[in-house]
């Protein structure tokens, strides 16, 4: 996220070089559209917009993460807000490393590298190796710079992997990675389901729905769409890529735990009849808006996570659910208050900003409730992370 302050319809115009950059990406998307007879499912479009090497939003060398639009950023994430986010997360990781008798961490989608630096700091010698898996070459370079600057003494323990090992023992972490994975869109109109995709139009692209033969689709999609009550128009997201990624990552986890943090809901809330417009959202210069065709490549595109789908995918690999709760509960249970208490309130210049960011992380009106944490484990004592999930566990809602 995409933790943003403004919801906008009037967006600032990108500067000339950025617009030229976006036009080059659009030419690539147009070529793909031509090859696909003029129609792309939305997940293909989203993948082009976010991950085309050198041109996609996450791959262009832009700096999406930051506090305000002045520095060219588009949104802020929890680790960018405060190091106090990493401290309780590190407690949970430490417990999982202990319980599995392992000493490695693997982070997916490490963004600017700040969380890695903070976790390495907090874990110290307990983390013998920290592996980062990052799709974007530009962000990988940024992570390397961040770690060289902030966690120099740990640099020799960090490595980047382009392909996944067959098996991993340790703790897997991903903050706001699932929401950045391409989604498919399905629209119900007059009781018929269509797949919503993208076609060419002036000046760029527009939506185009195609009837779908649901019999050709995975059983889980059919079940999901037909479970949505009512006959009214409805837009549903299907997280095929996120489910596939979860299956792969949990199958790779031979021993240890996976902790995934993101915004989203369990299925019953996600596909609630009243949530009829879906959750697709774009972020540009700290403005949130719903148009994925606004200057492709210059803005983030994201959707909330269907945590029931993620749990189904993980459990299908034989992994066990360790817990599912709100970010606020997870951070409180794992000791964020202790981390804050280490700061001296008589030093207001340090204490007040820290207290303010803790409020943002925990407040129901900000990140505390919309954001969730889900944990999976294999070969570890299931109660190892009870302390982190025990109060406020919502596993039964998945
Ligand atoms: C919204 S950013 C979050 C960055 C960071 N974790 C944070 O909290 O600031 C999403 C990140 O996930 C990465 N990403 C998306 N899909 C990925 C995948 N399948 N494997 C690894 N990284 C991925 C993106 O390149 C980007 O770095």
**Residue 218: DSSP 8-state:** -
Q: What is the pLDDT at residue 112? A: 93
175 within ligand 1 shell (Cβ under 6 A): yes
- The secondary element (H helix, E strand) that includes residue 137 is helix 137-150
Indicate which residue's Cα is closest to atom 12 of ligand 1.
109
Q: Which mutation among 180, 258, 259 tests ligand 1's pocket best, with the greatest number of atoms within 8 A of CB?
A: 180
Nearest to 69 by CA among 299, 281, 362: 299
Q: How far, in Å, from the CA of 165 to the mean position of ligand 1? A: 19
Q: Where are the domains of the chain?
A: 6-397
Least Cα distance to 88 among 330, 325, 369, 366 occurs for 330
Establish whether residue 262 lines the binding site of ligand 1, counting it when its CB lies within 6 angstroms of any ligand atom: no
Q: Which residues on neighbouring strands pair with residue 45, listed in sequence order?
A: none
For residue 212, what pLDDT is reported? 84
Residue 208: per-residue pLDDT: 97
What local confidence, expressed as pLDDT, does residue 40 receive?
97
- Looking at residue 10, its pLDDT comes to 72
Kindly report the protein residue whose alpha carbon is nearest to atom 11 of ligand 1. Answer: 109
Cα separation of the two ends of the chain = 22
Q: How far apart are CA 378 and CA 202, in angstroms?
A: 51
How many whole angstroms from 260 Cα to the centroid of ligand 1? 12
Distance CA 66, CA 70 (A): 9
- Determine if ligand 1 sits within 6 Å of the CB of residue 50: no
- The CATH number of 6-397 is which of 3.30.565.10, 3.40.50.12710, 3.40.640.10, 2.130.10.10? 3.40.50.12710
Instruction: Please report, for residues 15, 22, 50, 186, 299, the alpha-carbon distance to residue 18 in angstroms, rounded to integers and kept in the order given.
Output: 5, 6, 15, 31, 11
Distance from the alpha carbon of residue 132 to the mean position of ligand 1, in angstroms? 10
Supply the pLDDT for residue 345. 80
Q: Is the CB of 176 under 6 A from ligand 1?
A: yes
Is any atom of ligand 1 closer than 6 Å to the C-beta of 136?
A: yes
> With contact defined as beta carbons under 8 Å apart, do 69 and 285 qualify?
yes
C-alpha–C-alpha distance, residues 74 and 287, integer Å: 7
Instruction: Say what the pLDDT of residue 370 is.
Output: 94
Residue 231 phi/psi, 5-degree rounding, is -120, 5
147 alpha carbon – ligand 1 mean position (Å): 17
134 lines ligand 1 (CB under 6 A): yes
Beta-carbon contacts of residue 348 (< 8 Å; ≥ 6 apart): none
To test ligand 1's pocket by mutation, which of 64, 67, 111, 240 has the most ligand atoms within 8 angstroms of CB?
Answer: 111
Is the alpha carbon torsion for 243, 2, 224, 393 positive or negative? positive
Ligand 1: which of 58, 85, 174, 177 to mutate, judged by most atoms within 8 Å of the beta carbon?
177
Q: Is the CB of 3 under 6 A from ligand 1?
A: no
CA 154 – ligand 1 centroid, Å:
22
Residue 109 CB–ligand 1 contact under 6 Å: yes
Question: How does pLDDT run along the chain (398 residues), one tens digit per residue?
Answer: 565 555 556 777 777 888 889 999 999 999 999 999 999 999 999 999 999 999 999 998 777 777 777 777 888 899 998 889 999 999 999 999 999 999 999 999 999 999 999 999 999 999 999 999 999 999 999 999 999 988 778 888 999 999 999 999 999 999 999 999 999 999 999 989 999 999 999 888 999 999 987 777 888 888 889 899 998 999 999 999 999 999 999 999 999 999 999 999 999 999 999 999 999 999 998 999 999 999 999 999 999 999 999 999 999 999 999 999 999 999 999 999 888 888 878 878 887 888 889 999 999 988 989 999 999 999 999 899 999 998 899 999 99
Q: How many CB atoms lie within 10 A of CB 219?
A: 9
pLDDT at 7: 59
**What DSSP letter does each residue of 287-310 carry, written as one string?**
EEES-TTSSTTSSEEE--EEHHHH
Atom of ligand 1 nearest to the CA of 59: 25
C-beta of 79 in contact with ligand 1 (< 6 A): yes
């Amino acid at each position: 996220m995409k933790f943003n302050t403004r919801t906008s319809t009037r967006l600032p115009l990108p500067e000339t070089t950025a617009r030229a950059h976006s036009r080059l990406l659009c030419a690539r998307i147009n070529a793909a559209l031509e090859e696909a007879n003029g129609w792309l499912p939305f997940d293909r479009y989203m993948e082009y917009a976010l991950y085309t090497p050198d041109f996609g939003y996450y791959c262009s060398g832009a700096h999406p993460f930051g506090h305000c639009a002045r520095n060219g950023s588009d949104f802020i994430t929890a680790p960018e807000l405060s190091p106090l986010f990493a401290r309780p997360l590190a407690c949970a990781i430490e417990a999982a490393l202990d319980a599995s008798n392992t000493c490695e961490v693997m982070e997916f989608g490490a963004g600017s590298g700040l969380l890695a630096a903070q976790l390495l700091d907090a874990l110290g010698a307990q983390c013998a190796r920290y592996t980062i898996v990052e799709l974007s070459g530009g962000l990988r370079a940024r992570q390397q710079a961040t770690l060289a600057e902030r966690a120099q003494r740990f640099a020799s323990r960090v490595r980047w992997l382009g392909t996944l090992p067959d098996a991993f023992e340790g703790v897997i972490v991903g903050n706001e990675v699932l929401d950045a994975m391409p989604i498919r869109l399905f629209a119900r109109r007059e009781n018929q389901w269509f797949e919503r995709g993208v076609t060419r139009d002036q000046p760029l692209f527009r939506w185009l729905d195609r009837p779908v033969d649901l019999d050709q689709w995975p059983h889980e999609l059919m079940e999901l769409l037909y479970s949505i009550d009512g006959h009214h128009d409805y837009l549903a997201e299907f997280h095929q890529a996120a489910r596939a990624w979860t299956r792969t990552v949990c199958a790779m986890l031979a021993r240890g735990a996976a902790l995934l943090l993101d915004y989203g809901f369990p299925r019953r809330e996600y596909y609630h009849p009243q949530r009829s417009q879906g959750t697709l959202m774009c972020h540009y210069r700290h403005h949130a808006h719903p148009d994925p065709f606004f200057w492709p490549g210059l803005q983030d595109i994201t959707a909330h996570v269907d945590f029931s789908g993620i749990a189904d995918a993980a459990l299908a690999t034989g992994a066990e659910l360790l817990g599912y709760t709100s970010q606020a509960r997870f951070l409180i249970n794992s000791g964020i208050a202790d981390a804050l208490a280490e700061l001296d309130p008589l030093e207001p210049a340090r204490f007040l900003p820290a207290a303010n960011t803790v409020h943002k992380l925990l407040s129901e009106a900000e990140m505390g409730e919309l954001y969730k944490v889900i944990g999976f484990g294999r070969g570890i004592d299931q109660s190892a992370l009870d302390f982190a999930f025990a109060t406020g566990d919502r596993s039964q809602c998945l």
